[in-house]
Amino acid sequence: MEKYWNKEIECASRAKMKKLQDERLVAQVKHVYENVKYYRDLMDKKGVKPEDIKGTEDLHKLPFLSKADLREAYPYGLLAKPLSECVRIHSTSGTTGKRVVAFYTQNDVDMWDECCARAITAAGGTEDDVVQVAYGYGLFTGGMGLHGGSHKVGCLTLPMSSGNTERQIQFMQDLEATILCCTPSYAAYIGETIHDMGLSPDDLKLKAGIFGAEPWTEEMRRSIEKSLGIKAFDIYGLTESSGPGVAFECSEQSGMHINEDNFIPEIIDPDTGEVLPEGEVGELVFTSITKEAFPLLRYRTRDLCVLSRKKCSCGRTLIKMAKPMGRSDDMMIIRGVNVFPSQIETVLIEQGYSPNYLIEVDRVNNTDTLDISVEMNPDKFSDKVKDVQKEERALAGAMKDMLGINPKVHLVSPKSIARSEGKAVRVIDRRKLHD
Ligand code: ADP
Ligand code: ZN
């Protein structure tokens, strides 16, 4: 039986949710206009007044906010409450440039905890569970976010933070953790280490994992589920809109329900800014309608995905977002072809390789080069040059079928590629150095 943390909201009728969103949006636009000069100027420039926004159908009239705006307004330019009412700060991991800071009032923290509590409950968590939080703690939102949600549900919470993997596994075993929360790349690393320590999933009590903060493929999900003996759930969020928990997966494991009572999603064409109909791929945009201290309206996430209102077997009526394919800035254009790291990951796992790889892009004599280093399977390990070359050619062929361009594949020895305890760095693009 599906369990809900807040059934009234999670399974609300469309009409009820729309009414709630309308009321909250109208109040939020007023709050922002009155308290955030930076956004007021943007609205004035566009000729929009708070009175023009009567409901979600008017959302498209508002100006967008982008990461560039956040950097320009750094640190206090988008703050909508006096600092004396703020209780916390978090910051982005800085994956794609200068860090951005976000502020939280106590109500903002409570709302965030609520979102994560819904995610933990959807993954089967109750007060009887032991939740091991192996996301990094600190400015990064992963650790504190799931920690807050786990407390709220009443789970026994292990604030492990990331790293120290063997100790992590020791605690998992001794304290009988049932739910693991971390990045998918760290989950894969933990699974590998469990195996290396001579343990198997049967030696653990884990039943579920809540993994997010970076893109991961369905193939990666299956591989983690197998190595840890669990059901793996996706969770999405970003610092700018609080942290993990903006959207979470349910038992159906086919996309994440967005906490629409707090965040209104839109999908836009990243080039024209035009709102796209449901079902089309585009850039995800969020308007946070309940946040007090750092309430971003129409924030462009740069994450590419699809929204769907298709009925979900879990009974939730919250709109779903598909797994993000990556950020628009993760996409590499190589010899004129669009390539996502996730496509490469899919091929690797399908071909029986581990998800440990490094993509290097460069430009030599005005031609783009794509080199993919992949670890050899320990059980297929060979030091015969001929065997290795044959495997490399086969893998390069499978990559070409998926990507449309021919990469150079290098099989390297097992465990020679650095493992990630947080967000994995999988791409090095040296072309930027030549510009
Ligand atoms: P940074 O932008 O520096 O990485 P954050 O830690 O706030 O800072 O990361 C938020 C970003 O992480 C999102 O915009 C998205 O690109 C990525 N992300 C978070 N959760 C997921 C997920 N479940 N699947 C894919 N990408 C995700
Ligand atoms: Zn569902």
Q: Which two tokens stand for residue 191?
A: 């699974």
Per-residue model confidence as pLDDT tens digits over 263-285: 999 999 999 999 999 999 999 99
Per-residue model confidence as pLDDT tens digits over 29-47: 999 999 999 999 999 999 9
Q: How far apart are CA 222 and CA 219, in angstroms?
A: 5
Using CB distances shorter than 6 Å, the residues near ligand 1 are: 92-96, 212-215, 234-239, 301, 303, 323-324, 327
Atom of ligand 1 lying closest to residue 211 CA: 23
Cβ neighbourhood burial of 115 (10 Å; 0-12, 13-18, 19+): buried
Nearest CA to ligand 1 atom 9: 238
Q: Are 286 and 25 in contact (CB under 8 A)?
A: no
Closest ligand relative to 302 C-alpha: 1
Q: Is the dihedral of CA 41, 43, 47, 51 positive or negative?
A: negative
pLDDT at residue number 96: 65
Q: Sheet containing 408-412: which strands, arranged edge to edge?
A: 408-412, 367-375, 357-364, 427-429
Atom of ligand 1 lying closest to residue 141 CA: 6
Domains of the chain by start residue, with CATH: 1-329 (3.40.50.12780), 332-434 (3.30.300.30)
Q: Sheet containing 263-268: which strands, arranged edge to edge?
A: 263-268, 282-288, 299-305, 326-327
Mean pLDDT of the chain: 95
Q: How far apart are CA 2 and CA 23, in angstroms?
A: 29
Half-sphere exposure of 270 toward its Cβ, with a 13 Å CA cutoff? 15
Secondary structure (DSSP) of 178-247: -EEEE-HHHHHHHHHHHHHTT--GGGS---EEEEESS---HHHHHHHHHHHTSEEEEEEEEGGGTEEEEE
pLDDT at residue number 326: 78
Closest ligand relative to 310 C-alpha: 2
Average pLDDT over residues 140-146: 97
Can you give the pTM of this predicted structure? 0.95
Q: Are 226 and 352 in contact (CB under 8 A)?
A: no
Would strands 86-91 and 130-133 be described as parallel, antiparallel, or unpaired?
Answer: unpaired
Q: How far apart are CA 265 and CA 249, in angstroms?
A: 16
Going from the Cα of 114 to the center of ligand 1, the distance in angstroms, rounded, reads: 19
Closest ligand relative to 92 C-alpha: 1
Going from the Cα of 284 to the center of ligand 2, the distance in angstroms, rounded, reads: 19
Confidence of residue 304 (pLDDT cuts 50, 70, 90): very high
Per-residue model confidence as pLDDT tens digits over 53-106: 999 999 999 999 999 999 999 999 999 999 999 999 999 876 666 778 999 999
The DSSP secondary-structure symbol of 65 reads B
- Mutation choice for ligand 1 from 116, 303, 323, 325, CB with most ligand atoms inside 8 A: 303
Q: Are 324 and 271 in contact (CB under 8 A)?
A: no
